[in-house]
């Protein structure tokens, strides 16, 4: 995320970002509302707001007709253009097998932008983007596609002054990743030089287990240098996840108590109320554990638990993340039985609507043993975290959508209050709400007014929307911007991916060998199987707020 991880520069970024001016970070409030949506006029092309290092770029999307392009990439590029964060010298080239021409592709994308935007469309910006959109029809496996791609790139460089900088976004099924990269390599399209860049962005899943992740990394690294590979975990595009680092390292008051001496335990919950939707076939091979834990949950955990890096240089940050992930104790089969829970949803009701059991979803085996819920206790073997359990859980069809990190501190000694009616002191709890209702709250004890000493628990609460407004965002804006700027801080390095699979593989193995004995049913619309509650109860703890 370019310079924004430097706390002092982050301050500058906030103050210079027109989308937040006039909001509650009062010091920078101004009389003139400069938010992009409120601009009265634009020149033909968006003007860059400052001298950030986004390079001129041709953004090549493989899988241009797919859902990811429609729902995330194009809206994110539109939002970046709107906030003046795209370079002037910019073009998009969609590659897909669907036989349409550039004009038809532009019309489709125009309709998509219209359909998906929750905010009024800026027609000048939309036109600017559509004018730079091109299409190449071709099969990803056919070498001729890459010959034609090369010819088109040459032409686009001349038209848009993009100086041979190519960002290849593989918005395709993972089965194509290695092949596309190999063919780009064979065509000489990924050579990276001082005067131009060639970068490849890939989406999860990065393999299915440790051996497949290793072989995928190996196949990529045969053609590309690791520094050219940007593995996206869209959770790192969420402002609230990025803010964990700023919260920890830009404030003096939290880091000194961020360790086993003060923290009792940590909970990370990623709960969804949605089911598997139309992704039954994928989910049948992935399951909740592989789908969410080695990537999203462990990324959040690494931000919560890593040591402060010496600098915000991408490698310094990623070194610390890798270190903490490697410090997670790997489970023996007996630990898996004690410390993990797998669940599968049955029929139930969410927001008053009946929902089907997992086994009745489209493309799901009616006898499926795939988990739609996973919970576990992890331990990090380090000086900082010795003896502090990290409880993780994720599931589909849970009571409501909620992603949060809960830091529960230790209880204060009761001695002082022994002669009062205070029976016990409630520990302080810090809750980082990743989504929805993004914010941070901390609870503490306060004297309830009256002649007797009585302690009640009260909250201090910060809400993003209240301070910073709700600028349109897909969560991909920062990530795309960072690839163009060559900043890999928020992307996964091969060793981080492999460390994640090392944690998950032993759990999968035991669950698979146990078959139906490993899976506990839960009613859709609840917080998962009873056994997940027992997981904490046997340590004398409960899941935050979800009892
Ligand atoms: C994806 C998973 O990576 O993340 C999905 O494959 C899941 O199964 C999604 O629904 C959750 O993302 P978000 O941003 O909606 O929390």
Q: Is the pLDDT of residue 29 over 50?
A: no
69 three-state secondary structure: helix
Ligand 1 centroid from CA 378, angstroms: 22
Q: Is the pLDDT of residue 532 over 70?
A: yes
- Give the chain's radius of gyration (CA, Å): 25
pLDDT at 253: 95
Residues forming a β-bridge with 432: 405, 440
pLDDT at 22: 37
Domains 57-203 and 237-537 share a fold: no
Which of 354, 343, 357, 350 lies closest to 280 in space, CA to CA?
357
Q: Is the pLDDT of residue 397 over 70?
A: yes
Q: Is residue 58 a contact partner of residue 196, using CB atoms and an 8 Å limit?
A: no
Closest ligand 1 atom to residue 279 Cα is 8
The residue whose CA is least distant from atom 9 of ligand 1 is 292
Q: Which residue has the higher pLDDT, 28 or 478?
A: 478
The residue whose CA is least distant from atom 5 of ligand 1 is 291
Q: Is the pLDDT of residue 20 over 50?
A: no
Domain ranges of the chain: 57-203, 237-537
Q: What is the mean pLDDT of the chain?
A: 88
Residue pLDDT, tens place only, 238-275: 999 999 999 999 999 999 999 999 999 999 999 999 99
Q: What's the CA gap between 181 and 223, in Å, rounded?
A: 7
| Mean pLDDT value of segment 141-162 | 97
What share of the chain has pLDDT > 90, as a percent?
78
What is the fold, at CATH topology level, of the domain defined by 237-537? Dihydrodipicolinate Reductase; domain 2 (3.30.360)
**Reduced 3-state DSSP string for 194-261:** CCECEEEEEECCCCCCHHHHHHHHHHHHHHCCHHHEEEECHHHHCHHHHHHHHHHHCCCCCHHHCCCC
Ligand 1 shell residues, CB under 6 Å: 234, 272, 291, 403
Ligand 1 centroid from CA 324, angstroms: 24
Q: What's the CA gap between 435 and 451, in Å, rounded?
A: 41
CA angle 140, 143, 149 (to 5 degrees): 75
pLDDT at 13: 33
Q: Tell me yes or no: is domain 57-203 CATH 3.40.50.720.
A: yes
Long-range contacts of 309-316 (CB under 8 A, 24+ apart): 312/3, 312/5, 312/6, 312/489, 314/487, 314/488, 314/489
Lowest pLDDT segment from 27-36, 158-167, 330-339, 393-402: 27-36
Interacting residues of 119 by C-beta distance below 8 A, sequence separation 6+? 37, 472
Q: What's the CA gap between 529 and 66, in Å, rounded?
A: 35
DSSP line for 355-415: E--GGGSTT--TT----SEEEEEE-B-STTTTT--EEEEEESSBSS-EEEEEEEEPPPPSG
pLDDT at 337: 95
Count CB atoms within 10 A of the CB of residue 383: 8
Query: What are the backbone dihedrals phi and psi of residue 437, each rounded to the nearest 5 degrees, phi first?
Result: 55, 50
Interacting residues of 197 by C-beta distance below 8 A, sequence separation 6+? 55, 165, 166, 167, 228, 486
Closest ligand 1 atom to residue 435 Cα is 16
Ligand 1 centroid from CA 279, angstroms: 11
Q: What's the CA gap between 95 and 98, in Å, rounded?
A: 9
pLDDT at 32: 30
What tokens does 166 get?
């190519």
Q: Is the pLDDT of residue 370 over 50?
A: yes
Quickly state the pLDDT bin for 53 (edges 50, 70, 90): low
Residue 321: burial class (beta carbons within 10 Å; 0-12, 13-18, 19+) = buried
Lowest pLDDT segment from 330-344, 394-408, 435-449, 465-479: 465-479
| Mean pLDDT value of segment 341-360 | 96
Lowest pLDDT segment from 400-409, 445-454, 493-502: 445-454
Task: Supply the residues annotated as catalytic.
Answer: 296
| pTM across the whole model | 0.88
pLDDT at 322: 98
Quickly state the pLDDT bin for 23 (edges 50, 70, 90): very low
The residue whose CA is least distant from atom 14 of ligand 1 is 235
Residue pLDDT, tens place only, 97-113: 999 999 999 999 999 99
Quickly state the pLDDT bin for 9 (edges 50, 70, 90): very low
Quickly state the pLDDT bin for 517 (edges 50, 70, 90): confident
What share of the chain has pLDDT > 70, as a percent?
89
Quickly state the pLDDT bin for 25 (edges 50, 70, 90): very low
Closest ligand 1 atom to residue 282 Cα is 6
| Mean pLDDT value of segment 392-399 | 97
Ligand 1 centroid from CA 469, angstroms: 24
pLDDT at 7: 33
End-to-end CA separation in angstroms for the chain: 37
DSSP state of 329: P
| Mean pLDDT value of segment 456-478 | 89
pLDDT at 546: 53
| Mean pLDDT value of segment 298-324 | 96
Ligand 1 centroid from CA 396, angstroms: 10
Ligand 1 centroid from CA 491, angstroms: 17
Residue pLDDT, tens place only, 58-78: 999 999 999 999 999 999 999
Q: Is residue 193 a contact partner of residue 177, using CB atoms and an 8 Å limit?
A: no
Pocket test of ligand 1: the residue of 287, 290, 291, 345 to mutate, having most ligand atoms within 8 Å of its CB, is: 291
Strand segments, DSSP code E, in 57-105 are 57-62, 90-96
């Amino acid at each position: 995320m370019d310079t924004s991880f430097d706390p002092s520069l982050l301050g500058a970024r906030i103050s210079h970002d027109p989308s937040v001016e006039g909001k509650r970070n009062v010091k920078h409030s101004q009389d003139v509302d400069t938010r992009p949506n409120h601009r009265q006029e634009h020149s033909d092309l968006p003007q860059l707001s400052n001298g950030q290092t986004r390079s001129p770029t041709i953004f090549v999307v493989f899988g241009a007709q797919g859902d990811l392009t429609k729902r995330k990439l194009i809206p994110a590029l539109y939002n970046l253009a709107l906030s003046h964060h795209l370079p002037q010298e910019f073009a998009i080239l969609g590659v897909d097998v669907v036989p349409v021409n550039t004009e038809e592709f532009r019309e489709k994308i125009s309709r998509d932008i219209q359909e998906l935007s929750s905010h009024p469309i800026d027609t000048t910006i939309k036109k600017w983007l559509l004018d730079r959109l091109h299409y190449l029809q071709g099969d990803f496996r056919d070498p001729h596609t890459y010959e034609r791609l090369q010819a088109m790139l040459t032409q686009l460089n001349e038209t848009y002054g993009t100086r041979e900088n190519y960002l290849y976004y593989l918005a395709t099924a993972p089965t194509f990743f290695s092949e596309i990269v190999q063919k780009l390599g064979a065509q000489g399209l990924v050579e990276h030089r001082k005067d131009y860049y060639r970068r490849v962005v890939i989406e999860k899943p990065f393999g299915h287990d440790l051996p497949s992740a290793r072989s995928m990394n190996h196949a990529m690294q045969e053609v590309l240098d690791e520094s050219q590979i940007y593995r996206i975990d869209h959770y790192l595009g969420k402002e609230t996840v990025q803010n964990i680092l700023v919260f920890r390292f830009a404030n003096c008051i939290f880091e000194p108590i961020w360790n086993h001496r003060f923290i009792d335990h940590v909970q990370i919950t990623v709960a969804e109320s949605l089911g598997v939707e139309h992704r039954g076939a994928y989910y049948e091979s992935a399951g909740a554990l592989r789908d969410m834990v080695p990537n999203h949950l462990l990324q959040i955990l690494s931000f919560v638990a890593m040591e402060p890096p010496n600098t915000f240089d991408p490698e310094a940050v990623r070194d610390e993340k890798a270190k903490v992930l490697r410090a997670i104790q790997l489970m023996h089969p007996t630990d898996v039985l004690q410390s993990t829970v797998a669940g599968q949803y049955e029929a139930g009701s969410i927001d008053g609507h009946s929902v089907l059991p997992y086994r009745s979803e489209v493309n799901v085996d009616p006898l499926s043993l795939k988990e739609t819920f996973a919970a576990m206790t992890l331990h990090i073997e380090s000086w900082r975290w010795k003896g502090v359990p990290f409880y993780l859980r994720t599931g589909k069809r849970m009571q409501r959508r909620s992603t949060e990190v809960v830091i529960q501190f230790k209880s204060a000694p009761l001695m002082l209050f022994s002669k009062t009616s205070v029976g016990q002191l409630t520990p302080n709890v810090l809750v980082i709400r990743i989504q929805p209702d993004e914010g941070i709250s901390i609870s503490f004890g306060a004297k309830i007014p009256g002649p007797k000493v009585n302690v009640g628990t009260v909250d201090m609460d910060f809400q993003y929307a209240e301070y910073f407004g709700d600028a349109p965002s897909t969560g991909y804006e920062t990530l795309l911007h960072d690839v163009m700027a060559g900043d890999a801080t928020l992307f996964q390095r091969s060793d981080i991916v492999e460390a994640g699979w090392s944690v998950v593989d032993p759990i999968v193995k035991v669950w698979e060998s146990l078959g139906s004995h490993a899976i506990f049913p839960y009613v859709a619309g609840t917080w998962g199987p009873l056994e997940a509650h027992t997981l904490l109860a046997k340590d004398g703890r409960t899941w935050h707020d979800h009892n």
